[in-house]
Amino acid sequence: MPFKMLAVFYLHGMHVILLQVLRKLLKFYGQVNMKIYVIADIEGVSGVVSSAQTGGDSWLYEAARLQYSREVKAVCEAALHAGAEEVYVNDFHGNGLNLLSDALPREVMVIRGGFRPSSGYDLLDETFSGVVMLGVHARTGTYGGVIPHTYSSKLSFEIFGQPVGEFDVLALLAGEKKVPVILISGDSKALEQASTNLPSTPGVITKYSIGTEGALCMHPDRVCELLRDEMRRAIKIIDSIEPAQISGPVQLKIRVCDVLLSSRLEWIPGLKKIDDVSFEFAGKNMREIAALMYGCATMVEAKF
Ligand SMILES: [Zn+2]
């Protein structure tokens, strides 16, 4: 690595460490501004078991987005009550226009809209104290997970040979900024998968999966209560939760479910074809990996 690049890398690493030390000192003296970043998805919300509930013009979607907004509200209120000064919510599902934001506390800022530069983690930086992942779903191809997919149900991904879902990628992206995932909610299968990489993160099961389109669901009010309780607890133990970590270069494997879609990925420079349905990519960091995954999913989902 040339000296100039090494110096930039070193300085970048140093500034993150210095920022962390400074935050800890300020926190000790009661001066820190606690900021929480909530990434919200709809598939893992209480009562959602079918893709008919995740978009479109039907009453099913309207009911689902109401519960989605109630669960986001519960987390935001609890975070503010427990001492957070700022809460950002990323409306991460579909076109990013699902949240009924007038139901949220006035202090909350909402990131809305689709095709953003870095969907899922826009504006997430080292100044945040913790990330909440709300309404997560299992990875593509998960037997027994509710509406399982990883950006697309036509693609599955591995990082360093381990299967990854959206929650793994988002946790690693936050980890690159030294921000821990302090709370996660979703169906029982998704939480079982997430616990591998996030062993110390408190979790709230919103429903018990009994198939890709079926679950044993708790009362929506009960889920909101659990989210409030666990959010308060998460803020109390925030310093004991370690950020997820990975060091680059990051090895990614991509598999398409249908050979017809393979040719679309062949258009992407830097992807190495392994066989008819598999590709490899080496990314500098998780930011590069996440951008590629999101790009591949957009390509295979595009209608021509
Ligand atoms: Zn979604």
Per residue in 166-188, pLDDT tens?
Answer: 999 999 999 999 999 999 999 99
Six token digits for residue 6: 């090494």
Between CA 123 and CA 145 the distance in angstroms is: 30
Q: Is residue 245 part of a domain?
A: no
CA–centroid distance, 92 to ligand 1, in Å, is 7
What integer pLDDT is reported at residue 10 of this predicted model? 45
Co-location of 67 and 37 in the same domain = yes
Co-location of 110 and 7 in the same domain = no
CA–centroid distance, 304 to ligand 1, in Å, is 23
Co-location of 95 and 229 in the same domain = yes
Q: How confident is the model at residue 28 (pLDDT cuts 50, 70, 90)?
A: low
Residue 281, pLDDT above cutoff 80 = yes
Co-location of 178 and 276 in the same domain = no
CA–centroid distance, 74 to ligand 1, in Å, is 19
Stretch 221-237: mean pLDDT, rounded?
98
Between CA 74 and CA 224 the distance in angstroms is: 6
CA–centroid distance, 42 to ligand 1, in Å, is 5
Between CA 99 and CA 114 the distance in angstroms is: 13
Co-location of 234 and 256 in the same domain = no
Co-location of 260 and 223 in the same domain = no
What integer pLDDT is reported at residue 128 of this predicted model? 98
Domain span holding position 10: 1-28
Between CA 167 and CA 198 the distance in angstroms is: 10
Co-location of 141 and 2 in the same domain = no
What integer pLDDT is reported at residue 212 of this predicted model? 94
Co-location of 180 and 218 in the same domain = yes
Stretch 91-102: mean pLDDT, rounded?
94
CA–centroid distance, 43 to ligand 1, in Å, is 5
CA–centroid distance, 24 to ligand 1, in Å, is 34
Co-location of 211 and 77 in the same domain = yes
Residues, Cβ < 5 Å to ion ligand 1: 41, 43, 93
What integer pLDDT is reported at residue 3 of this predicted model? 36
What integer pLDDT is reported at residue 8 of this predicted model? 40
Bridge partners (DSSP) of residue 35 are 86
The tally of domains found in the chain comes to: 3
CA–centroid distance, 296 to ligand 1, in Å, is 16
What integer pLDDT is reported at residue 24 of this predicted model? 61
What integer pLDDT is reported at residue 20 of this predicted model? 57
Co-location of 111 and 50 in the same domain = yes
- Its pTM stands at 0.88
